[in-house]
Amino acid sequence: MAKQIAFLFIFILSAGFAGAQDSLQTNISVHDPVMTRQDGTYYLFATGRGISFWSSKDMKNWKRENPVFSSPPEWAVKAVPGFKGHIWAPDISFHNGLYYLYYSISTFGKNGSCIGLATNKTLQTGSPDYLWTDHGKVIESVPGRDEWNAIDPNFILDEKQKPWLAFGSFWNGLKLVRLTDEGKTIATDPQQWFTIASVPRSNADQTAGNGAIEAPFIFKKKDFYYLFASYDYCCKGINSTYKMRVGRSEKLSGPYEDKEGTMMTKGGGTLLLQGNANWHGVGHNAVCTFDGKDYLIFHGYDAKDKGRSKLRVEELSWDESEWPFLK
């Protein structure tokens, strides 16, 4: 535990409330990355103090921008005991003419967590319209009440262009919930929840150390919704065992099945990528499409650089059966 705390502390410091820097950087150190593009510039959001924020013209050379939040949201400090401003696993989407940034408020190993939302008219920091508006809590999980964890959000529209949020980490798996049309609260007419993936474990086991699955990302391509998820353990540097698996469904709500027909709610998931001698703990991915090409955005721990967590961007290919793979 001491080693985990020490690593977490080092990681928090490395992702601190740094100001904007003029110099471009490659091999940037990020965790839980997600990406979008506006007017030819790529924007990257990641776990960090105030939410780490970067910009690039080529997805290779990156400029660190000011964090989304200059100080921790007051509502989050009150809602989650122990929260100090280190915000996890953001998710960026363009919806209703605005950029929607969902983010996670939590503490390590606990499911007393919240998912918040901030919006902006633009991601161009030099624009007079650049201003993040925080809308506070969207979903909350409460220890002793909920057997799920409200972190790792991912926004997705269904076939009727209605918004949903996938999320979850450990406990009894990944969830999907219908949102209101403006995407700021859970829809209640009717309220719709689904479990979309899980790792089997004892019903009596409520610790965070089992049921190791998290970070859902749903990507629609042709006739299928693809559910990407990260299995096993992150956040341990070169000892991380994180890996990415995928399943698909013709319906957003599932069931999601792997190539062998095993449902992801039964522990299924076709392996997409795992660590090797050079990169450990690859995972927490997003999928983006730029200029007709699909890309897998994720982090991995660089064995040649003291296990630092770094951004990786790989082109995602598809086989004849419409399953994703990396060349």
Write out the binding residues for substrate: 32, 109, 149-152, 169-171
Q: What does the radius of gyration of the chain's CA atoms come to, in whole angstroms?
A: 18
For residues 298 and 283, is the Cβ–Cβ distance under 8 A?
yes
In the chain, the N- to C-terminal Cα span, in Å, equals 37
Q: Which amino acid is present at 37?
A: R
Q: Is 214 among the catalytic positions?
A: yes
DSSP annotation of 148 reads S
The tokens of 320 are what?
Answer: 């004849």
Residue with tokens 């110099």: 23
Among residues 32, 65, 257, 302, which one is catalytic? 32
What phi and psi, each to the nearest 5 degrees, are found at residue 8? -65, -40
Rounded Cα–Cα distance for residues 48 and 103 (Å): 11
Distances (CA, A) of 262 to 1, 199, 281: 34, 12, 24
Q: Is 291 among the catalytic positions?
A: no
DSSP annotation of 321 reads T
Binding site, by residue number, is 32, 109, 149-152, 169-171
Burial of residue 5, with CB atoms counted within 10 A of its CB: 0-12 exposed, 13-18 middle, 19 or more buried: exposed
Rounded Cα–Cα distance for residues 210 and 196 (Å): 17
Dihedral of alpha carbons 157, 136, 123, 46, sign: negative
The tokens of 98 are what?
Answer: 């605005």
Question: Which of 68, 71, 148, 70 lies closest to 114, judged by CA?
Answer: 148
The tokens of 278 are what?
Answer: 């050079």
Among residues 65, 91, 214, 258, which one is catalytic? 214
Burial 112-129 (b: 16+ CB within 10 A, else e): bbbbbbbbbeebeeeeee
Active-site residues: which are they? Answer: 32, 214
